[in-house]
Structures are given as C-alpha cells and as structure tokens.
Amino acid sequence: MTLYTTVPSSIGELLLVGDGTALCGLYMQEAPRPKFVEPAWRRDDDAFAAARAQLEEYFDGRRTSFDVRLRMDGPEFERQVWEALREIPYGETTSYGQIARRIGHPEAARAVGVANARNPIAVIVPCHRVIGADGSLTGYGGGLERKRLLLDLESGVLAL
C-alpha cells in the first residue's frame, strides 16, 4: 500500500510518499511539475513523523543531514547517481561532470543530468547541490528560485 502526507515548508508544500517502512518520494507541489496523489493512496501523517520532523529541522537550519530510510527504485545508473548525490556535503556544490567521474562514467555528464532530474526524493537526496561546470545554476525540477533558496539556506546566507 502506498501512503502519503503533505508537509508545509518555506519552498512550498511537500508531498511525501512511502510504503510504511521507507520514504519513496518527496515532491515539491508548487513546482512546475507537481506529483498528484493517486486515488488508491492512503493519507497517513504518522507514518512520516521522522521525515516530517527532520525536514522541519532542516528548513529551520538545525539539521545538515537526514537519516530516514529511503527506497529509490530506478535503473542501476540512476541509483549510482542518486547515491553520489547523497554524498555531497551540506553547504557544498558539485558539477554533473564531477559526479560522472566519481561514479566511473567520466563521459556521462549529460546522463548524470537526466538521472539528477529523475531523483524521486528532492531535498533529502540533494540534487539541488548540483550546478553547471561554470558554477551557474542549471535546471531544477523545483524551479531555479527554489534551488537558489535551498543553496542559500545551506550556505547560511538565508534563514528560511
């Protein structure tokens, strides 16, 4: 059974989706491509208590890492990229090319970008920490303004 809840945040409403044992999705509902709740899903706020608390702490600037159980389904290459995203330290950024080299596919920067865009667990799996090789902000499913807000929060420029 798929469970869900919503969480208010300073970047808009977040939709959390899981199976009762792991978080499987975290989506920004006010982003250009929101995720819609399926009719068969059941709302269960208690099932996401730890994730909700940790997200609140993160947005308050009191948490720099997450320790909720995740389940991320996808092809092997995408899972490698998503794991590499989780290794980017709080407050730091990296490029698509650097991730490609880190996972042993140095010519796959564009494929890393595609996998990054397919990250099903925004914020907790920090795809917002990936920028262009020239240091520019590049595409972000939540919109570049949310990417900038998250990076500013992590750099201490902005207290959300």
Active-site residue list: 127
Here the tokens at position 19 are 């199976």
Q: How many CB atoms lie within 10 A of CB 86?
A: 14
**Distance between CA atoms of 74 and 30, rounded to whole angstroms?**
24
Region label for 29, one of left (φ > 0), alpha (ψ between -120 and 50) or beta (otherwise): alpha
The helix (run of H) or strand (run of E) holding residue 43 is strand 42-43
